Structure 1
Amino acid sequence: MYEDLYYKKIVFATYKRHGGPQKCVVHDCPDIIPSEDQVYPDRAVEREVLKLEVICTNKGDGCPWEGKLKDYESHEEECEFIRQPCGRSGCKDFVYKKDLEGHLKEDCLMRPVDCEYCKAKLVFKDVKDHHLSDCPEFPVECDQCHMDKIFTRLQEGLRV
């Protein structure tokens, strides 16, 4: 029963990917996979298969969804447990859909921030280096008087 749908969804993908006839991959069958225009769906079988109870492929990541196969596609579009790329330039993290907003606001090393001292625009991962080498307003303790001074005043004091 299921093989008709299996052919339609999986095997045809192989056919298209390889651009021509391929050997059947179901049960080491010697047949050649027919082209799409040579196979017709069995609607009765399709209806039965779509009634089957299934679980989300993201169950291992915590998704509790269970339902009929016919409802799976709409669930998949909304599933909060799908891992997706952050999307920010330079960030290679993959996060759950449910965690993306928090990642973008608080966790992404490539999130834009303003330096709290000089208000320069930078990405979060560069803040520490900016403070230690580039920020003209970053407070630094003076070795001479042991007072916190901003970096530019400290440099002026060293030139005197």
Structure 2
Amino acid sequence: MQMVKRTSHADSLCGVARPLDAIGDGWSLLIVRDAFDGLRRFGEFQRSLGLSKNILAVRLRNLVAHDILETVPASDGSAYQDYVLTEKGRALFPLLVALRQWGEAFCFAPDEAHVVLVDKATGKPVPRLELRAQDGRALAPEDTVVVHPSAIRPTKRQRAKAS
């Protein structure tokens, strides 16, 4: 059986699949991570990631096209441009924290050193993220279900019937 290669998730109803067009490769997530860490220039991203210029340029263009990063005049007044996170890009922070915490828990040996995300104000590690219900209960995967939009929003027929 031959697999069809999907080039876009733009038509997907899934909130996991659709963002993959913007941030679905590892390099893009690492660029966003570096932007959160204060990197702004093409050369800074290249030095941090060791990525070829052409691949980095493609990833940066994609992140700008998806409104995750924006280009602004260089903060030092030079002819260069800076890449900065947009509001949409900053909203990825919880995703990166969750990925970091998962990586710390499952990708390092118990005694293996790794960087740690800390609260600047206290110097203490950021607490583990935990999904909570609207009533405050901790939620596990078995406590949730994905529902089709038609199960949430009334159809035209249902709205007409209710009137």
Structure richer in helix, relative to its length: 1
TM-score, normalised to structure 1, is: 0.21
Question: Which structure has more RCO (C-alpha within 8 Å, separation ≥ 6)?
Answer: 2
Q: Which of the two has higher C-alpha Rg?
A: 1
TM-score (norm 2): 0.21
